[in-house]
Amino acid sequence: MADRWKVFRDRQITVHDFARDVLVVCPRCARPARVFATDGTENFYRARHWRMVCPTCGYHQDKTSNCRTISTGRHGGVADPMFGLPLRLQKSCCGGKLLWAFNLEHLSFVESFVAATIRERSDAVRAGDGYRRMSMIAKLPSWLKSAKHRDEILKVIQKLKDSIIAAP
């Protein structure tokens, strides 16, 4: 009976917690590439130096930026917040909705939420600067939270994972 119930507990993670290391499409060869912060900080808001590297063709680009806007895909595809490159992990799902993730850790986080039959949510947390924020789970679209889409979403997540494994 323990296998029947999958529990998810909201850990107050925001989408910014996944935005420091992003899988994108290389603008030169269209293979998987990576955008990451190079200044050693773990905090997306404090990172200023960014690099895009493609392991396939060797293309790379550096940028200094403090851009903090993250597109959520409501108006087309989703791009990384620093270089504006399309995310590698995005796919149409549930009647044309866009399922996306910055990286495999982000995708696994969404997968654990979707797969859960019991979801324990927590209230907004007060950030260190006094600003009240909601977790990423509180901001997910209703189609992603709906149990009726669970099987389709989990299949799309598996396809996205497989596409990364199959990539050279």
Q: Which positions ≥6 away from 92 have C-beta within 8 Å?
A: 98, 99
Token reading at 102: 């910055």
Residue 106: domain span: 2-166
- Given a contact cutoff of 8 angstroms between Cβ atoms, the answer to whether 165 and 157 are in contact is no
Token reading at 8: 């998810």
Based on the structure, what is the number of domains in the chain? 1
The tens-digit pLDDT sequence of the chain (168 residues) is: 445 778 887 777 778 788 888 999 999 999 999 998 887 776 666 677 889 999 999 999 998 877 666 666 666 678 888 888 999 999 999 988 999 999 999 999 999 999 988 877 665 554 555 555 667 777 888 999 898 999 999 999 999 999 887 765
Token reading at 36: 């990451």
| Locus of tokens 């939420």 | 113
Spatial separation of the C-alpha atoms in residues 44 and 168, rounded to whole Å: 28
